Structure 1
Amino acid sequence: MPKFSEMEREAVRTCLMSTGKELFTQYGLKKTSVDEIVKACGIAKGSFYAFFQSKEELYYTIMQEEESFKDQKIREMLNSERSPKELLKGLFDLSFEMLETNPFLKRVQQRDEYELLIRKLPKDKLEEHIQADNRAGAELIKQWQEKQVIIDEDPEVIIGLLRSVMLLSLHREEIGDKFDQVKELLLECVTEGLLRK
């Protein structure tokens, strides 16, 4: 396996990430192979493992990068001058928009895709991801509770509620052509239920 200079390492890693994202988006985790990724990047298969332990780890790293971009957009929105109701509704709207317009995140949200990732990803990586999400969410919820914006409920319960709302996008087909109306009504009900009166 050839030794890469720091510049070459960065270029190869960037290629693995962008090629992986493209192939995972198009074919999914199961149907994308390490062979296809390394062929597109012009490196030996063994070199792949100098960067990632598995294709699942590559997928997870891409997912984190995409979610980081989504989180940045959410932070920008939260720093804007809006009413608490507009902020909460905006948080949901932006999250749904990112899930519906980002092809990679849309792919991650497919039932089989996420279940496969969870089964194949090392437990410590998965646990680390969940804990980081919970910490960030709990921090925001506690801030809003201190400012008397949302109800005093266990932050973990509120995080669970927010997650369950976002899972609605998995059921677009079952809900059918009324999906957008169902989503809007659900967001209105949840937003009103979380805000302090």
Structure 2
Amino acid sequence: MSKFTENEREQIRQCLLTKGKELFIRYGFAKTSIDDIVQACGIGKGSFYKFFSSKEELFYYIVNGQEEVRNRLIVEHLQENLPPREMISSFFYLALRLADENPLLQQWFDEGEHERIVRKLPAHLIKDTTRDNVKTGIQFIQSLIERGVLKENDPEVIAGVFAAILMLRTLKERLGHELFPKIMDVIIDCIAQGLTGPEK
């Protein structure tokens, strides 16, 4: 059994992430196989499992590596000079729009697909990623509290509220494409008002 050098391991890992992303976008998660991915990278199927335990794990890493989406959400809103309630509302609307525009996030937020993928992930992976995402979310929330955008509150609780709102995207198919935006309008308005207080 051949062993990879550290440099080779990094190159193969990056190839799996890059080619996996391309194939998931082109064909979708369900229609992309591990065989397709390893063939695109020119490695044996057995080598795949030295890096990822499953196709679901690879997809999870790729989705969580969507830094451009996270950066656009956070950086743009830290630079905005909007009234507090409008800033929080625009954050949620932008997040939902980016989820609808990004083909990987569309697949991740698909209700049925999301459940199937999460079920096959190692528990420690979800726990570790959630912890890291919560840490980033708390830092973002703290910056908004310091700026007076959000009322004083437990940043971890507010970060959880933000995450819960975004996960409602998984219900879009069940609630219906016409009804879902109207439901989100009401929820976002209530949450934005509750987190920022009355308009000055």
The TM-score by the shorter chain falls in which range? 0.7 to 0.9
| Unmatched 5+ stretches in structure 2 | none
Quote the offset at 1:156 in angstroms: 3.2
Quote the offset at 1:80 in angstroms: 1.5
- Identify the residue that residue 15 of structure 2 maps to in structure 1: 15
Q: Report the AA paired with residue 55 of structure 1.
A: K
Quote the offset at 1:121 in angstroms: 1.7
Q: Name the SS for the 2:128 alignment partner.
A: helix
- Identify the residue that residue 157 of structure 1 maps to in structure 2: 157
- Identify the residue that residue 37 of structure 2 maps to in structure 1: 37
1:48-87 equivalences under 5 Å are: 48-66=48-66, 68-83=67-82, 84-87=84-87
- Identify the residue that residue 193 of structure 2 maps to in structure 1: 192
In 2, are the aligned partners of 1:148 and 1:196 still within 8 Å (CA)? no
Q: Report the AA paired with residue 161 of structure 1.
A: V
**Larger deviation: 94-103 or 140-149?**
140-149
How many correspondences in the alignment? Answer: 195
Identity in percent: 35
- Identify the residue that residue 110 of structure 1 maps to in structure 2: 110
Aligned mates of 1:110, 1:42 — CA distance in 2: 30
Quote the offset at 1:126 in angstroms: 0.9
Q: Name the SS for the 2:29 alignment partner.
A: helix
| Unmatched 5+ stretches in structure 1 | none
Quote the offset at 1:10 in angstroms: 5.0
In 2, are the aligned partners of 1:38 and 1:48 still within 8 Å (CA)? yes
Quote the offset at 1:135 in angstroms: 1.4
Between structures 1 and 2, the one with greater helix share: 1
1:164-183 equivalences under 5 Å are: 164-173=164-173, 174-183=175-184
Q: Name the SS for the 1:99 alignment partner.
A: helix
TM-score normalised by L of structure 2: 0.81
Quote the offset at 1:112 in angstroms: 2.7
Q: Name the SS for the 1:28 alignment partner.
A: coil
TM-score normalised by L of structure 1: 0.82
Q: Report the AA paired with residue 182 of structure 2.
A: Q
RMSD: 2.6
- Identify the residue that residue 93 of structure 2 maps to in structure 1: 93
Aligned mates of 2:2, 2:100 — CA distance in 1: 41
Aligned mates of 1:141, 1:162 — CA distance in 2: 9
- Flag as ranges the 4+ runs of structure 1 deviating above 6 A: none
Quote the offset at 1:5 in angstroms: 6.5
Quote the offset at 1:109 in angstroms: 0.9
Aligned mates of 2:156, 2:78 — CA distance in 1: 23
Aligned mates of 1:75, 1:148 — CA distance in 2: 16
